[in-house]
């Protein structure tokens, strides 16, 4: 760091005030040739930690913008510095993402919902308050864009040059043009930035090596692993002396669970289906919720015996495993209920998640139900109006 950042904290947590928690005073050039970067933080009963963190990140970006002027501070024109919303929110979200072990759930949700912002919308997003859902999508999309830029060849060095160009621009330059100017890898085509960003957000949405499924996801994957689906057997044309032998009965097929192994082991592909279930169980053990892992191992052992034809006692073993699975499910439900009770009755401070839920609920109530414009909906609306008329 070239220029120091001064943090001024006033007030106490018991103060009852309104207004902002963190404010950045105007940046001044001191007689010593050092830019004065300050952050004024006021403690009060509604202290906003998110606001303080983001304003501090804004100051850190300002410091990086001003570094090129360290040797000649007078060359700075003195215009107000600005950090684009996508850059500030992206940096904040990317730091949280990496500090929390790079969780993939938020990014996977964005990709699966297909509510993906275009790069032009991300770069052009004004600095304004968004509803919680839009805010989360914008923050995550900005983080993926920033990560894609930093992973370019010489990305960190190019990023420093980009920040320096922001300090030199007194107006509102096109961010896409500035990015292509400082990141050579984006100059290949008009859609190069969009391509790199799409690949990055898809990569961040993949389950990471240190992540595991939730209890609900583990249950769903286990149901799929224990499912057996076999088509009806097809009659094969007899050859040679086999034409003289009586035809055997064909298996009608099976759709169910491994628990009913007596009904499908006679199928030509019955044992192969058991082995496929075992492969799914082994893959699931690596990703399963920790409480389920020993249970999955025992399911695999029972299926191994069934595959070898050792079916004696297998039905009872599977029943015991199902009972243990139910106990784990009930335990997790009780834990979730207790956590909800604790948060509602004993947690200190305001619940940000509930506040976001309330804001979305109020917003949806104001908007009302979406009006459909298709012909069938219009026809039904007309019928409803006709029959409901006095």
Q: Which tens digits make up the pLDDT trace of 195-227?
A: 888 888 888 888 777 788 889 999 999 999 999
Query: What dihedral angle (degrees, nearest 10) is formed by the CA atoms of 65, 68, 74, 79?
Result: -20
What secondary structure does DSSP assign to 228-245, as a single string?
EEEPPPPPPPP-GGGGGS
pLDDT (0 to 100) of residue 238: 60
* Contact partners, residue 381, CB within 8 Å, separation at least 6: none
Backbone angles phi, psi at 369, to 5 degrees: -70, 140
Q: What is the mean pLDDT of residues 80-87?
A: 88
Per the confidence metrics, is the pTM higher than 0.75?
no
Q: Tell me how crowded residue 62 is: count the other CB atoms within 10 A of its CB.
A: 21
Name the nearest CA neighbour of 95 among 154, 162, 49, 146: 146
| CA nearest neighbour of 107 among 61, 79, 141 | 141
Separation CA 63–CA 54 (nearest Å): 14
Per the CB < 8 A criterion, the answer to whether 39 and 71 are in contact is: no
Residue in 371, 362, 274 with CA at minimum distance from that of residue 318: 274
User: What pLDDT score was predicted for residue 352?
Assistant: 60
Can you list the positions of beta strands (E) in the chain? 5-11, 22-23, 28-29, 35-43, 227-230, 254-257
The phi-psi region of residue 134 (left if phi > 0; otherwise alpha if psi is between -120 and 50; otherwise beta) is alpha
How confident is the model over 283-310, as a mean pLDDT?
A: 94
Lookup result for tokens 């005030």 = 17
Alpha-carbon span 126 to 372, nearest angstrom: 30
The residue count for the chain = 390
Predicted confidence at residue 275, as pLDDT, reads: 95
Is residue 19 within 8 A of residue 13, CB to CB? The reply is no
Q: Which of residues 260 and 103 earns the better pLDDT score?
A: 260
Q: Residue 241 to residues 233, 237, 238: CA-CA distances in angstroms? A: 22, 12, 8
**Average pLDDT of 269-291?**
94
**pLDDT at position 223:** 96
Torsion of CA 305, 307, 308, 314, to 10 degrees: 30
Q: Quick: pLDDT tens for 302-345.
A: 999 999 999 999 999 999 999 999 999 999 999 999 988 887 77
How high is the pLDDT of residue 302? Answer: 96
pLDDT at 308 (0 to 100): 93
Q: Residue 43 pLDDT more than 80?
A: yes
Which range has the top average pLDDT, 71-75, 149-153, 233-237, 375-379? 149-153
At residue 342, the pLDDT reads 83
Here the tokens at position 149 are 């830029």
- % pLDDT > 70, the chain: 89
The answer to whether residue 4 scores a pLDDT higher than 80 is yes
Predicted confidence (pLDDT) at residue 190 exceeds the cutoff of 80: no
Half-sphere exposure of 210 (CA within 13 A, CB side): 6
Q: What is the mean pLDDT of residues 150-158?
A: 91
pLDDT value at 126 more than 80: yes
pLDDT of residue 369: 66
Question: What mean pLDDT, rounded, does the chain reach?
Answer: 85
Percentage above 90 pLDDT, the chain: 39
Find out whether 67 and 166 touch, Cβ atoms under 8 Å. Answer: no
**What is the predicted pLDDT for the residue at 208?**
76
pLDDT at 313: 95
pLDDT of residue 22 exceeding 70, the answer is: yes
For residues 45 and 80, is the Cβ–Cβ distance under 8 A?
Answer: no
- Is the pLDDT assigned to residue 171 strictly greater than 90? no
**Contact in structure between 161 and 178 (CB atoms under 8 Å):** no
What residue spans define the domains of the chain? Answer: 1-81, 83-211, 252-344
β-pair partners for 35: 29
DSSP conformation class of 210: T
Whether 274 and 307 have beta carbons less than 8 Å apart is answered as: yes
Q: Is the pLDDT of residue 20 over 70?
A: yes
């Amino acid at each position: 760091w070239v220029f120091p950042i001064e943090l001024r904290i006033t007030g106490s947590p018991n103060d009852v005030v309104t207004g902002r928690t963190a404010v950045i005073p105007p940046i001044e050039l001191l007689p010593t040739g050092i830019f004065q970067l300050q952050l004024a933080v006021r403690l009060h009963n509604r202290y906003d930690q998110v606001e303080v963190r983001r304003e501090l990140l804004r100051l850190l970006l300002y410091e990086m913008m001003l570094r090129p002027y360290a040797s000649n501070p007078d060359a700075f024109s003195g215009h107000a510095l600005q950090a684009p919303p996508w850059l500030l929110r992206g940096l904040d979200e990317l730091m949280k993402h990496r500090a929390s072990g790079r969780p993939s759930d938020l990014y996977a949700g964005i990709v699966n919902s297909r509510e993906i912002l275009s790069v032009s919308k991300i770069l052009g997003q004004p600095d304004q308050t968004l509803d919680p859902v839009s805010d989360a999508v914008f923050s995550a999309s900005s983080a993926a864009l920033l990560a894609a830029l930093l992973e370019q060849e010489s990305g960190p060095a190019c990023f420093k040059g980009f920040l320096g160009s922001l300090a030199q621009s007194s107006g509102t330059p096109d961010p896409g043009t500035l990015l292509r100017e400082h990141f050579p890898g984006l100059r290949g085509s008009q859609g190069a930035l969009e391509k790199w960003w799409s690949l990055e957000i898809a990569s961040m949405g993949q389950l990471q090596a240190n992540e595991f499924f939730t209890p609900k996801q583990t249950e769903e994957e286990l149901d799929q692993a224990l499912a057996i689906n076999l088509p009806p057997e097809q009659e094969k044309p007899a050859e040679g002396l086999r034409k003289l032998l009586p035809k055997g009965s064909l298996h009608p097929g099976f759709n169910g669970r491994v628990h009913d192994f007596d009904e499908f082991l006679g199928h030509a592909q019955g044992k192969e289906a058991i082995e496929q279930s075992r492969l799914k169980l082994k893959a699931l053990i690596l990703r399963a919720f920790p409480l389920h892992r020993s249970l999955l191992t025992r399911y695999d052992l029972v299926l191994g015996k069934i595959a070898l034809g050792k079916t004696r006692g297998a039905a009872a073993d599977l029943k015991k495993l199902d009972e243990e699975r139910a106990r784990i499910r009930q335990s997790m439900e009780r834990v979730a209920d207790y956590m909800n009770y604790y948060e509602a009755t004993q947690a200190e401070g305001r619940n940000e998640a509930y506040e976001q839920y309330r804001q979305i609920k109020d917003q949806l109530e104001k908007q009302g139900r979406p009006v459909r414009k298709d012909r069938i909906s219009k026809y039904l609306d007309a019928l409803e109006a006709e029959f409901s008329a006095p």
